[in-house]
Chains A and B, each alone.
Chain A
Amino acid sequence: MSILRFHLNDRPIEDAEVPPTTTLLNYLRQRAHLTGTKEGCAEGDCGACTVVVLDAETDPAAPRFRAVNACLMFVPMVQGRRVYTVEGLRQNGALHPVQAAMVERLGSQCGYCTPGVVMSAFEACYREDLREPWQLDDQMCGNLCRCTGYRPIRDAVHLVAGTCPEDIFNRQRAEARPAALEFVRASEGRCYLQPTDLEALWAAIAERPRARLVCGGTDLALLVTQRYQDLPELIALEGVPELRGVGRGADGWFEIGATTTLTDLEAACMGPLRPLTPLLRILRYFASRQIKHRATVGGNLCNASPIGDLAPALIALGAQVVLRSAAGARTLPLDQFFLAYRKTALQPGEVLAAVRVPEPSTGARMGAYKVSKRRELDISAVAAGLYVETCPEGLVTEVRAAFGGMAATPARARGLEAALRGRPWTEANVEAALPALAADFKPMSDHRGSAWFRGQVAENLVRGFYLETAATPRPDLPPRPAATVRLEVVQ
């Protein structure tokens, strides 16, 4: 039986009683009586509950602050860590520079979103990788404000972003050591287990075969906060280092650990995974910073949502999934992982351990797109991953076109692929192949878009992909694009 231990604004907390599926938000407001952190939606979409967690586990050499949604975290997820809330930023009565900037720039009106805004800006304050203006919007897009129209918030964040003041927070960051994440709480029929290596994971799974696996929890927590379900048995993967991080296999394939967070994947795409540009494009509009800090590659694939954003891009890149169990490992092409609506090929006792992606061949054309009602922090109406290789004669030798939002699972457009394969990669041939797409999918109508819209957009994304990659096989996403496909103006 573990005791819940963490630092809350420099105050050590020990709690042996709190039920483990208590959200961090409820803990703060109800048990710690810190009501600065607000509940605006309890689904991770408004950011009023944003707090900051100090993460020294991902990269012990470079601990970092991570803004997260307290409404989507169970308290054991901060075991051993340091948590900062809006109440903890003042030092000796003086406002933190982030708070001062928000006051001076009139970044608050009703003030209800403000604590969350302040905490997202707090992370920005200590980020060393903020260079482009669009990154500020990316940092702040998970904080909805209904009053200000955002201009003053943007100004305030601009003032403080990347300033890294030499203060107690920076010192705590520099001195942070990886936390002991192990957490075990079990009683009759109920448990929350956070093993810290693979052996312990297999033992936990063997002992609790009905337990649900959880890592970031950004999707699973909704069962508690929105559906009011009880999750009696949970096994957390976050403490298992073998499942995390990116690298390169002996065969030259890129390997992405399943519990790698989306922000870590994003960072890797600007470093060791640079050849996988389309991933960066889809990650840019994947979700809020808060969600991306907790959500994982494996979680996005295992929830098997038809509108999970990573799947189409990874399928297009030819990814495989590595499924491990106590008995061993097997590998499956990602497009065979999704069996039906929210159903995967995972067998009992199996865990998605990693995603493997081959290095794209030189000159291959790649694109990943997402269309939603709002650019930032929204769920796809349609997502597409497109990959085309041509031979020196200009004929299409390899083509993978995968879509989200078009069927019950992320799926390849086999008819379209067949119509493109073996023919010259020309506008006329793309146009000629597009009718096949209509036969590949019969999308549904819902509040995100009608079947007509989905069909038309899927078609237009292929068109846009052709036009966009005609000159540059792997175009970068320009800052602040008006749309998912941003074609250069014809000069």
Chain B
Amino acid sequence: MTDVSQSPLHRPAVHESAHGHVTGSARYVDDLPEPAGMLHGLPVGSPVARGRLVARRAERALALPGVHAVLFAADVPGHNRIGPIVHDEPLLAEDEVFAEGQTVALVLGDSVAACRAGARALELEFEELPAILTVEEALRAGALLCPPHEMCRGDVAAAMARATVVVAGELHTGGQDHFYLETQASLAIPGEDDTIHLESSTQHPTEVQIACSEVLGCPRNQIVVAVPRMGGGFGGKESQASQFAALAALAARRTGRPVKVWLSRDLDMTMTGKRHPFWSRYRAGLDDRGRLLALEVEIVADGGWSVDLSPAILDRGMFHLDNGYFVPNLHFVGKAVRTNKASNTAFRGFGGPQGMAVIEEVLSRAAERLGLDPAEIRRRNYYGDCPDEHAPGNMVEVPVPEDEQTSMGASVISLVRARCLTPYYQEVPHCRLPRIHAELLARCDWDARRAEVAAWNARSPWQKRGLGFMPVKFGISFTNTMLNQAGALVLVYADGSVQLNHGGTEMGQGLHTKMLAVCAHELGVPTAQIRCMTTATDKVPNTSATAASSGSDLNGMAVQRACAEIRERVRPVAAELLGAAPEAVQFVGGAAVGPDGRRVPWSELARTAWMRRVSLSAAGYYATPNIAYDRTTGRGKPFHYFAYGAAAVEVEVSGLTGEHRLLRVDILHDVGSSLVPTIDIGQIEGGFIQGVGWVTGEELVWDAKGKLLTHGPSTYKIPAIGDCPAIFNVALLERAEQDSTIHGSKAVGEPPLMLGLGVISALRQAVAAFGPGEVELAIPCTPEAILRAVVRQRAAAVTRAADAAE
């Protein structure tokens, strides 16, 4: 049981909504009682990937029973164009459509069934136009979504010339559907004075508010957006909840009735964007010990039909091309291209996984060429703290001016010498990867298991095992500096009960659980006395998305400040009641406690403070200090700090069918001083498995005309329980307090997802055991991809045996 005399910080806790989850009483947008007169709204998407919309007629649909209205672009009173960075997405299609599933019309009816009948009866005519469906086609057509982004340092050509090993190639990483269990949903309720109240399943209530106000052509103060909770988000409800909320708001304004827009799974998967597929071309030079000398990468993100968040996702991809490794000489070019597919969007990792996949491919291939252990080659390239055997001798040969400074004022040449300068000129102070590496290898018995796996493989002709390794360094902050701000509003009632409002949204990640702990700690009250309220734009305005792993970092600081303000206001009252000096009063265990141990219960303190006319509500605000990035020069300090982790992954592969199984996974992850360790463990495990899904079974397939074929769980396979390894050890790095964050904690939402790339490292090891030669393993590593790679290795083994016989 929780000891109420102690703070809930840094202690295990269950999820604050767990009782609601397991009893079915936790409500999501689609579960809310439906207001009288409510209509259902069904978006109707384009059936073609690109075409001119030559006719749209609704008469037949409107004649059907239960169909009330059909809305087209012309029905939008304000701006029809929405979008998080650039307003380039028609809410309802205008003259042309740019992707299958792009919304053309909204059918309003008494029931979802009536809407579906209405949708079938709509007469929409398209003149099909040629579509761009791949990154390569888009590059040829020069269809860029934003200006290219470039980072460079040193002399790549000279360093390549000195390299012992050069690996070059192309890498495709696939998209990934979010597959949040709760699909997109919004309920708009019209009020007096043309106001709209929205209940929306969104990670970004402020953006929903903005989109609705622009579509309706009204000021933002007429729109209130509330988020009860989400049944998963993972980035898919950061920017893309807006259009469905705006459709609901539009329909509510047009009909004067409440309107719910809810998507079936197939509609959701067809209409909404996914993780960006990336294509890259790389060339890397390494020395004889496997240390990176130079890296040249062209990386291209498939943005789909509109800009959405693609520029920021591309940027984060480039910020993570180094992962945890010092790259002395480099040239990175990044592009985001426009294709005629659903507009790709934020997804846990936000480009980071796609960037890291490239450097991991480079190191895996180099290790296989050099005969190095996959963990060892990575260790030799970590930032800073370089062990003796690779003293920075050759690193001085990076030609940067002696007097060049980073944005933080340090000398570039000294940071390069110390191997702790990123490609974007941010210092990496105290890289924790060497420590994590050593501790994880010891924990998981790496060396002995390497030997066991080799011995097992020698006895097993048709099944092979592989032991892979994956470290992660992930930059924490929105790379658009402006977004790094948050607010909170804390209300204490005169009975001592507390309402906590903050700008973050709860999508399952445990943000509210952590915020309750911060609030309880600051006020010295038990969490049971605090209610974390529905996130709403009329409580905390102008919020940023709950995204970029930043929810706890930003909102935690804001909550702390709001609570501290109230606490300091009541401190004199407490001091008087206790007959103590104000600075001697402690707030702990649900009471104010004097130096002599006398206690005034928090409820009594609140009542007294109210009677003395002390304000018991306060807003808190936080903005991350000292961050800035200049995209034109490719330099700056985009991140407040870095989160670290590493995974050791063992797999078994069938050489007959290409199937594989995770046998054992060990993870050691750095979350600083965890706010709530049980929540963080859950994020790490869940993130890892989601990352595994991305690189293994989750394969998106389109037909030749750009129609998505994998639009439901029968065809799109996210991990099931059997994909969770039988042995799954997850530990938090101890003694890891982080400077200048909320109670020394670190962000945890995204970084563990990339640990899933460790499966590729392990699979490559297993595939390599089937025969000689370089492993060619496509991503995602489906049974087919693995079988192709195995067949190649086995053929090489046969050839080699034949050669040896001659």
Contact = CB atoms under 8 A, between A and B. Distances in A.
Given A90-B23, A111-B17, A228-B113, A486 B463 contact: yes
A75 B689 CA distance: 36
Contacts of B654: 482-486
Contacts of A46: 181, 265, 713
A104 B14 contact: yes
Contacts of B229: 110-111
B572 interface: no
A108 B459 CA distance: 42
B501 to A, nearest CB: 21
A467 B658 CA distance: 17
A38 B231 contact: yes
A106 B24 contact: no
B688 interface: yes
Interface in B182-207: 182-183
B717 A146 contact: no
Interface stretch (A166-174, A191-199, A376-384, A419-427): A376-384
Contact of B463 (A146, A480, A483): A483
Nearest to B22: A99
Contact of B686 (A41, A114, A148, A460): A148
Contact of B701 (A90, A103, A152, A447): A447
Interface residues of B, number: 90
Interface stretch (A345-353, A385-393, A450-458): A450-458
B461 interface: yes
Interface residues of A, number: 86
Interface stretch (B431-439, B781-789, B798-806): B781-789
B22 A118 contact: yes
Given A37-B24, A113-B181, A102 B18 contact: yes
Interface string B652-678: 111011111101000000000000001
B682 A379 contact: no
Interface stretch (A137-145, A208-216, A256-264, A294-302): A137-145
Contacts of B656: 457, 460-461, 463-464, 483, 485, 487
Interface in B335-385: none
B312 to A, nearest CB: 23
B56 to A, nearest CB: 21
A112 interface: yes
A237 interface: no
B787 A453 contact: yes
Contacts of A111: 15, 17-18, 20-21, 26, 229, 231, 508
A461 to B, nearest CB: 7
B715 A144 contact: no
Interface stretch (A53-61, A268-276, A367-375): A367-375
Contacts of A38: 28, 181-182, 231
Interface string A73-95: 00000000000011101100001
A154 interface: yes
A240 interface: no
Given A35-B31, A482-B652, A146 B690 contact: yes
A152 B685 contact: yes
Interface in B716-733: 717-724, 726, 728, 730
Nearest to B662: A482
Nearest to A153: B721
Given A106-B14, A106-B678, A482-B653, A449 B784 contact: yes
B256 to A, nearest CB: 24
A151 interface: yes
Given A112-B28, A371-B783, A149 B182 contact: no
A327 interface: no
Nearest to B510: A109
A490 interface: yes
A490 B179 CA distance: 41
B537 interface: no
B24 A35 contact: yes
A202 interface: no
A361 to B, nearest CB: 27
Contacts of A108: 15, 17-18, 21-22, 508
Contact of A95 (B23, B685, B726, B788): B23
B265 A42 contact: yes
Contacts of A483: 463, 652, 654, 656-657, 659-661
A377 to B, nearest CB: 6
A373 B699 contact: yes
A316 B730 CA distance: 45
A34 interface: yes
Contacts of B730: 151
Nearest to A119: B24
Contact of A137 (B22, B658, B701, B722): B722
Nearest to A464: B656
A427 B690 CA distance: 41
A467 B24 contact: no
Contact of A42 (B120, B264, B689): B264
A144 B657 contact: no
A152 B683 CA distance: 11
Interface in A436-491: 446-450, 453, 456-457, 460-461, 463-464, 467, 480-487, 489-491
B505 to A, nearest CB: 11
A357 interface: no
Given A95-B23, A148-B685, A151-B724, A110 B456 contact: no
A462 B712 CA distance: 32
B781 to A, nearest CB: 11
A86 B230 CA distance: 19
Given A103-B14, A226-B266, A453-B784, A373 B231 contact: no
Interface in B768-806: 782-784, 787-788, 791
A449 B697 CA distance: 12
Nearest to B111: A30
A95 B266 contact: no
Interface in B111-153: 113, 116, 120
B33 to A, nearest CB: 8
B665 to A, nearest CB: 10
Given A146-B234, A464-B462, A484 B657 contact: yes
A455 B120 CA distance: 40
Contacts of A103: 14-15, 18-19, 22
A92 B15 CA distance: 23
Given A112-B232, A374-B717, A87 B24 contact: yes
B181 A112 contact: yes
Contacts of A37: 24
Nearest to A136: B721
A94 to B, nearest CB: 11
Contacts of A255: none
Contacts of B570: none
Given A109-B686, A112-B181, A447-B709, A376 B720 contact: yes
Contacts of A98: 22
A86 B687 CA distance: 27
Among A41, A114, A149, A485, residue most surrounded by chain B Cβ atoms (within 10 Å)? A149
18 contacts: A40-B713, A46-B181, A85-B24, A106-B14, A112-B508, A137-B721, A149-B686, A149-B719, A371-B657, A374-B697, A449-B783, A449-B784, A453-B658, A453-B784, A460-B657, A467-B462, A480-B661, A487-B462
Instruction: Please list the 10 inter-chain residue pairs (A to B) with the smallest Cβ-Cβ separation, ordered nearest first.
Output: A36-B24, A110-B508, A112-B231, A111-B21, A483-B654, A149-B689, A45-B713, A482-B661, A109-B508, A35-B31
Given A38-B181, A147-B232, 18 more contacts: A40-B183, A40-B713, A87-B25, A90-B23, A104-B14, A108-B508, A110-B508, A112-B232, A133-B726, A141-B722, A148-B686, A150-B689, A375-B722, A377-B720, A453-B658, A457-B656, A463-B656, A489-B459
Interface of B: 14-15, 17-28, 30-31, 113, 116, 120, 178-183, 229-234, 264-266, 456, 459-463, 507-510, 652-654, 656-661, 663, 678-679, 681-682, 685-690, 697, 699, 701, 709-710, 712-715, 717-724, 726, 728, 730, 782-784, 787-788, 791
